[in-house]
């Protein structure tokens, strides 16, 4: 039984979240396995230096343990100097003042609400590097970040924010799949460099985020829940709900009222399988629409040196998310379609058709047009979906990191437009024959696949115009820095043109 109990190792993010985490437990357990292996360095005289840790909580102990392994001397500052069996055995435990005097760097592993107890120690901590590793329970819980609060309390010390996004798991385990990125910020460059050296010595990757003003962002990071996904998801849910009720009205209620057929079971598969392709097509078109807008704006303004409107900026930033949600809908459409032959309703309808023919004592000949249409919309859909999946794979972080800018652009732009074209053609061929048929317009409303075609067709039509040389050439020039009308960025223009950049 190792002296360091493994249950005590929840990361600060867990603690900060204030939530019970069975996953954390697993993380903590990692330590048990590795503590048998990752031996503490013997007490060689040439240690890296001494680090003081205020607080003997879960994360303080895990960090100390890891530092000792990496060759640091660790001294804990605690109100009680009674040596606990939870504290790493090679660490010293002293009173706060004595501990702080021993080291140039003090890691503040205590919660924000107890920072006040540090003020009497201001004199001892003067000139020292204080590392704030704390997290909060909510986004923007306090007006200023914990690190800035600490810096205000102890103006004589150099406060650096670090380690708050690291879990005890990443610290303790030798696994490569936990994120090793440590965000660091602080006003004192030397202090920051000292902390970043510790981060590197622990096998983690420090990332300098600038001055202490960035602490708020760093503290919010582990509390965020997919911030980039919020708008795309709400948009998709809203659109999907609209289309659901639209289909419900036309396919179930209309049929019930006018044809006296109860098709309520359409809610399970038929209607979802109508909504999914429509959503996939519209969202995929929405991925490429802002690029079209941007090109038109740049052509109209004749310069790239002006900011786009805010809504366009935001839209452009969530294109990856929109595309992935579109891929999710497309995948659901594929599976919903493939289970068709297994549905009781479909096999009932098929056998009814066959029996009707059999009772008439005749077989209908093969309708070649129908065979062509059926096969070609399936083939178009399959190829479009195939390219769509390729786009999805390319947007996996590890794949996109191995691809250069030109390759990424080729896949996301060229193949993306090809996928959009194929999917639009798939929908057109599928529904083409009903466009002019009056029976397709129940209650004078168009079928939803007609609605779904509007955005993609507009995007493809405008894109088609934009690749004409007479439009493409000036656009390329503008994007290389040329300006039709230099009045827009007069001041900067002089420097840009003269210094030949």
Residues of this chain, 167-186, that bind a copy of itself according to CB under 8 A: 167, 174-179, 181, 183
- Find, among 476, 475, 494, 498, the residue nearest to 486 by Cα: 494
Among 30, 105, 275, 280, binds a copy of itself (CB under 8 A): 30
Pick one of 382, 454, 458, 461: the residue that binds a copy of itself (CB under 8 A). Answer: 382
The reply to whether 353 sits near a copy of itself by the rule CB under 8 A is yes
As measured in angstroms, the least distance from the Cβ of 94 to a copy of itself is: 12
> Which residues 99-138 are close enough to bind a copy of itself by CB under 8 A?
109-111, 114, 117
Backbone CA torsion sign across 320, 324, 325, 326: positive
Are 475 and 303 in contact by the 8 Å Cβ rule? The answer is no
Q: How far is the CB of 40 from a copy of itself (least distance, A)?
A: 7
Whose Cβ is closer to a copy of itself: residue 384's or residue 456's? 384
CB of 48 to a copy of itself, least distance (A): 6
Which of the residues 260 through 279 are near a copy of itself (CB under 8 A)?
Answer: 262, 264-266, 268-270, 272
Phi-psi region of 368 (alpha: psi -120 to 50; beta: other; left: phi over 0): alpha
- The CB-of-131 to a copy of itself minimum distance in angstroms stands at 15
Interacting residues with a copy of itself between 297 and 336 (CB under 8 A): 298, 304-308, 313, 316-317, 319, 328, 331-332, 334-336
- d(CA 480, CA 477) in angstroms, rounded, equals 5
Binding to a copy of itself in span 194-233, by CB under 8 A:
201-203, 205-211, 213-214, 216-217, 221-226
Name the nearest CA neighbour of 130 among 60, 57, 186, 59: 186
Cα Rg of the chain, angstroms: 32
Which of 143, 260, 363, 485 is close enough to bind a copy of itself by CB under 8 A? 363
- Name the one range near a copy of itself by CB under 8 A: 3-11, 121-129, 432-440, 443-451: 3-11
Please say whether the beta carbons of 68 and 201 come within 8 A: no
Look at residues 30, 392, 395, 25 and name the one whose alpha carbon lies nearest to residue 176: 30
From the list 29-37, 232-240, 244-252, 278-286, the region that binds a copy of itself by CB under 8 A is 29-37
Determine the 3-state secondary structure of 73 from DSSP. strand
What are the residues whose beta carbons fall under 8 Å from the beta carbon of 381, sequence distance 6 or more? 422, 423, 426, 430
Task: Among 119, 140, 152, 347, indicate the residue that binds a copy of itself (CB under 8 A).
Answer: 347
Q: How far is the CB of 127 from a copy of itself (least distance, A)?
A: 13
Contact 273, 337 (CB under 8 A): yes
* Residue 8 interacts with a copy of itself (CB under 8 A): yes or no: yes
CB 478 within 8 A of CB 303: yes
CB of 332 to a copy of itself, least distance (A): 6
The rounded distance, in Å, linking the Cα atoms of 419 and 396 is: 18
CB of 445 to a copy of itself, least distance (A): 24
Judged by CB under 8 A, the residue of 142, 234, 311, 386 near a copy of itself is 386
| Contact map string, positions 479 to 498, toward a copy of itself, x by CB under 8 A | xxx-------x-xx-xxx-x
Edge-to-edge strand order for the sheet containing 92-94? 92-94, 73-77, 50-54, 105-108, 129-132, 158-161, 181-186, 205-208
């Amino acid at each position: 039984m190792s002296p360091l109990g493994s249950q005590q190792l929840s990361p600060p993010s867990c603690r900060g979240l204030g939530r019970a985490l069975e996953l954390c437990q697993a993380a903590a357990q990692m330590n048990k396995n590795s503590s048998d292996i990752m031996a503490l360095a013997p007490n060689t005289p040439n240690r890296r230096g001494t680090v003081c840790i205020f607080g003997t909580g879960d994360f303080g102990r895990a960090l100390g343990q890891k530092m000792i392994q990496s060759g640091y001397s660790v001294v804990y500052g605690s109100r009680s100097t009674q040596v606990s069996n939870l504290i790493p055995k090679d660490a010293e435990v002293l009173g706060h003042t004595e501990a702080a005097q021993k080291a140039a760097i003090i890691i503040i592993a205590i919660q924000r609400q107890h920072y006040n107890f540090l003020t009497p120690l201001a004199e001892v901590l003067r000139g020292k590097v204080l590392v704030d590793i704390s997290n909060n329970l909510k986004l923007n819980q306090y007006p200023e970040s914990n690190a800035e609060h600490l810096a205000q309390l102890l103006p004589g010390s150099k406060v650096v924010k670090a380690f708050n996004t690291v879990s005890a798991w990443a610290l303790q385990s030798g696994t490569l799949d936990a994120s090793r990125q440590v965000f660091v910020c602080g006003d004192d460059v030397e202090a920051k460099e000292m902390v970043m050296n510790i981060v590197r010595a622990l096998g983690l990757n420090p990332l300098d985020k600038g001055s202490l003003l960035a602490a708020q962002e760093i503290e919010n990071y582990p509390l965020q829940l997919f911030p980039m996904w919020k708008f795309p998801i709400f948009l998709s849910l809203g659109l999907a709900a609209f289309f659901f009720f639209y289909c419900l009205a036309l396919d179930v209620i209309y049929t019930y009222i006018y044809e006296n057929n109860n098709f309520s079971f359409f809610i399970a598969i038929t209607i979802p399988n109508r909504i999914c392709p429509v959503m996939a097509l519209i969202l995929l078109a929405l991925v490429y629409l802002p690029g079209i807008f941007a090109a038109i704006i740049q052509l109209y303004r004749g310069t790239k040196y002006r900011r786009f409107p805010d809504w366009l900026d935001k839209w452009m930033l969530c294109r990856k998310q929109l595309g992935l949600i579109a891929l999710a809908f497309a995948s659901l459409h594929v599976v919903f379609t493939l289970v068709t032959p297994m549905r009781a309703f479909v096999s009932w309808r098929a056998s009814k058709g066959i029996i009707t023919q059999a009772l008439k004592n005749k077989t209908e000949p093969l309708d070649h047009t129908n065979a062509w249409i059926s096969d070609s919309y399936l083939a178009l859909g399959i190829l479009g979906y195939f390219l769509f999946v390729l786009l999805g794979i390319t947007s996996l972080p590890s794949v996109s990191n191995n691809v250069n800018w030109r390759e990424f652009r080729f896949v996301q732009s060229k193949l993306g437009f090809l996928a959009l074209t194929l999917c639009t053609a798939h929908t057109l061929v599928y529904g083409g024959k009903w466009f002019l048929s009056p029976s397709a317009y129940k209650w004078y409303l168009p079928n939803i696949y007609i609605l779904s075609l509007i955005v993609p067709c507009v995007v493809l039509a405008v894109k088609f115009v934009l690749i004409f040389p007479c439009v493409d050439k000036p656009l390329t020039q503008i994007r290389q820095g040329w300006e039709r009308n230099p009045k827009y960025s007069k001041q900067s223009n002089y420097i840009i043109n003269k210094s030949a950049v």
